[in-house]
Structure 1
Amino acid sequence: MAPSQLSIGSLPNEIIIQVLSSFETRSLLPLAAVCRRFYGLVGRVHYSRLVEASRLQSHQVILECYHPSEKLSTPSLHCDFLGVDGLVEAGDDADLRELNNLYVRFRPYLGDEQPGAIFGEAAGSIMRGPSHDIYLDSDEPFSQLCTITNLVKIGPRRGLFSSIANITDTVIRVKRDWLKSEAAKVAGMQQRASKSVDDTSVLWTNDSTKTVGLRFKVVQDQSVPTPILFGRDEEPSVSYSLEYQELLIRANWLLLSFETAEAQQVTHAGKAVVIASF
């Protein structure tokens, strides 16, 4: 009797999923191109990982955003998890392309704020989140914000990190035209609370990949005097306040950072190593 021919295609889904689960995400996703069956199974494994990563598990996102001249005087911001729009609705049968378009939303806040607090009325006053003041001289078409986001795991003592994974480290250009347009929306009460990643109130660290974005409310400082005389082609000096609304991180990118942080934790297991402090 001729021996039976066995192939990976004859294996049940449960065994293939168990094998796929042993791959890190960077190695797992390319396997979706093997065949239609693998595409679906890789999607199921990837979905479960996104759900797990969104829980953060003692991890926290830290945001540093400052003008290059104000690095030492600008405090870091903690980020309160708000949710992943569309993750539950997608389910474990979600298409990989659909999962790639999911974003995790956070609310940046100063370390002395109460985590989980929301913007609104409190004790008869309006709570206001952290903000940046931006001043542009007449010859400046834009300002800059150095933006660094890290996923950290809280250490055994307050203020210590046992692992840290960089999510992004780049510089955002804050253009005069964008400031003027967004401030006009706020002044005209045209800005609505939005969760869309395509909303113009979001400044992306990379316009092509849209990996990490900051949603701002822009308010012009009307107290800055307009010069009496300036050239026809010159813009007057202006000042704006950029109030943080949300930090948006592509879910896939957060997952990769989560795995990096977990790998660091395994590498340093049993060792008293302080990777960073806050």
Structure 2
Amino acid sequence: DNDEEEDDSVTEDIYLDEDEHFTQLCTKVHVSRLSPRQGYFLTHVNVFDGVIRLWRDSLAELSSSPAGADGQGERGTLIWADTKRTVGVRLEVTPGGMERMPVLSGPNDLPPMSYKILYLELLVPVSELLLAVEKSAIQEDSQTGKAIVIAFMN
């Protein structure tokens, strides 16, 4: 028996170099049905494919605000990936380890920064998921049983 509770938190370290104004998080959500054959999908429907841009100023603000500061009593901050609010993530940002300051820097130079992002929640409206499940069922019904598998072997 393992008495230690496993930490299943999803985190990511973000590093901004000098004069880098933002970082981007690739966001992809899809609904898939697994095949009985290991490693294959019966169906695959893309729900969302996009990018969330996190600006340096926003990261600094998020890392200095207390948890649950979104005004709704929720932990973390909700950021939508698009204006239609198809996909959102609730996350917490904390400052990373101190970065080494450049030897020479001017008053307008941006220092390198690092942050740790803790992903708390993925938000996808139920309507988007239901549409994807419906498309998946249609894909499964229309399968001919023939497939082309392209694989690269090392």
Q: Aligning the two structures, in what range does the TM-score lie when normalised by the shorter sequence?
A: 0.7 to 0.9
Counterpart residue number, 2:122: 247
Given candidates 61, 67, 89, the residue that maps to 1:191 is 67
Instruction: Supply the AA of the counterpart residue of 1:215.
Output: R
1:147-190 Cα offsets, whole Å, 9 max, x none, are 111100121133321000001111211111121111112xxxx2
SS in 2 for 1:233: coil
Counterpart Cα distance in 1 of 2:47 and 2:105: 43
**TM-score, length basis structure 2:** 0.80
Using CA pairs below 8 Å that are at least 6 residues apart, which structure has the higher relative contact order? 2
More helix by share: 1
Given candidates 37, 41, 52, the residue that maps to 1:161 is 41
Q: Give ranges in structure 1 of 5+ residues lacking alignment.
A: 1-121
SS in 2 for 1:257: helix
SS in 2 for 1:225: coil
Aligned length: 147
Query: Quick one: structure 1 residues 136 and 251, their matched pair in 2 at CA, closer, same or farther if it must change by over 3 Å?
Result: same
Rg comparison, structure with higher value:
1
Mapping of 1:142-153 within 5 angstroms? 142-153=22-33
Contact 1:152 1:165 in 2 (8 A): yes
1:194-238 Cα offsets, whole Å, 9 max, x none, are 8x6x987222210x2111011222121133223465222232110
Instruction: Supply the AA of the counterpart residue of 1:266.
Output: D
Instruction: Give the percent of matched residue pairs that are identical in Structure 1 and Structure 2.
Output: 32
1:41-63 Cα offsets, whole Å, 9 max, x none, are xxxxxxxxxxxxxxxxxxxxxxx
Query: Quick one: structure 1 residues 200 and 176, their matched pair in 2 at CA, closer, same or farther if it must change by over 3 Å?
Result: farther
Counterpart Cα distance in 2 of 1:199 and 1:128: 17
Counterpart residue number, 2:113: 238
SS in 1 for 2:124: strand
1:79-106 Cα offsets, whole Å, 9 max, x none, are xxxxxxxxxxxxxxxxxxxxxxxxxxxx
Counterpart residue number, 2:145: 271
Counterpart Cα distance in 1 of 2:68 and 2:117: 16
Query: Quick one: structure 1 residues 210 and 127, their matched pair in 2 at CA, closer, same or farther if it must change by over 3 Å?
Result: same
Contact 2:76 2:120 in 1 (8 A): no
Contact 2:34 2:42 in 1 (8 A): yes
